[in-house]
Amino acid sequence: MDDTLNVTYLTFGGHVDVDRYRYVYFVIMFTIYILIICSNSVIVYLIWVHPNLHEPMYIFIAALLINSVLFSTTIYPKLLIDFLSDKQIISHQACLVQFHMFYSLAGAEFLLLAAMAYDRYVSICKPLQYPTIMSKTTVSIFLVSAWLLPACQLVLPTAMSAKEKLCRFILNGVFCNNTIYKLQCVISQARFVRDMVILLNVALVPVLFILFTYTRIFVISYRSSKEVRKKAAQTCLPHLIVLINFSCLCAYDVIVVGLEADFPKTFRLIMTLQMILYHPLFNPIVYGLKMKEIHKHLKRLFFPAKIK
């Protein structure tokens, strides 16, 4: 703690041999960060410029990819600075801001996936009502709600954490996630209940809604024509793959701290980096390869000579 400025500094204790491999870490993570920005931005650009992609499904995909870039930007700049610094530290206030942004954007991802599931349900199961139900107003409400609801719900726990007394000052990680709670002297039952309610609202309920919605879609499409089944598979499968991938990574983030598992530092680092490294690159790859219209425009963009 800096007594003269009354600023509390925390140390990231999750780095492995950062003094020895700092430049290797920096080059790898900087390259990945640029790839995340470019790959997600290319698909967002294609959706923006091509009128045939100005449909709710593609708008939600663009929002999801923008969310991935924001999610990465919450972590990567500070992480890159830490690789080149002698000390991997952060002020308590800045750590809480990162904590809030990290979980707000993670919650937004679940809500955006829920909105996409509802969009697919209406498109496949109620095609005649689709233009009326999925209007521009409805899409706008879904998008605003996806970003605002998690952020607003996390304001209280973040503000309460700022007032808690700290007994430890070394974070068992490389960025500020829920490991910040382990620094507090007392973890109250009320705080635990409050966090469980937030987790239920921004993660578990959307996941259950998505699973229910896609179950309904597959049941109805199974009873329908081959064309309907093909449409369901083509448009729903990428969303399910992204959901399963992100849910597994989030489950690790929540469970590993809750169980206080004594994993080796290297294993913790690898698993923690999966969420900020693998997933933001995974989204554009899945949607770029699996969504027929996006894939077609990608081929025209990168291989114009081969497209007649």
All structural domains of the chain:
9-294 (1.20.1070.10)
CA distances from 282 to 40, 44, 261, 290 (A): 10, 15, 27, 12
% pLDDT > 70, the chain: 94
Between 240 and 114, residue with greater pLDDT: 114
Residues 6+ apart with CB under 8 A from 176: 10, 90, 95, 96, 98, 99, 102
Average pLDDT score over the chain: 85
Backbone φ and ψ for 175, nearest 5 degrees, come out as: -155, 175
Mean pLDDT for 110-131 is 90
CA distance 260 to 272: 15
Mean pLDDT for 72-95 is 92
CA distance 293 to 295: 5
Say whether 232 sits in a helix, a strand or coil: helix
**What does 244-264 look like in DSSP terms, one character per residue?**
HHHHHHHHHHHHHHHTT----
% pLDDT > 90, the chain: 40
Strand partners for 204: none
Angle at 183 between CA 177 and CA 186, to 5 degrees: 120
Say whether 37 sits in a helix, a strand or coil: helix
Mean pLDDT for 6-33 is 88
Nearest to 112 by CA among 234, 254, 275, 243: 243
CA distance 77 to 13: 18
Between 253 and 114, residue with greater pLDDT: 114
Say whether 131 sits in a helix, a strand or coil: helix
pTM: 0.89
Say whether 216 sits in a helix, a strand or coil: helix
pLDDT in tens, 252-285: 777 765 555 566 777 777 777 777 887 888 888 8
Alpha helix stretches (DSSP H) within the chain: 18-49, 56-83, 92-125, 130-133, 136-153, 155-163, 189-199, 205-222, 226-258, 265-290, 292-302
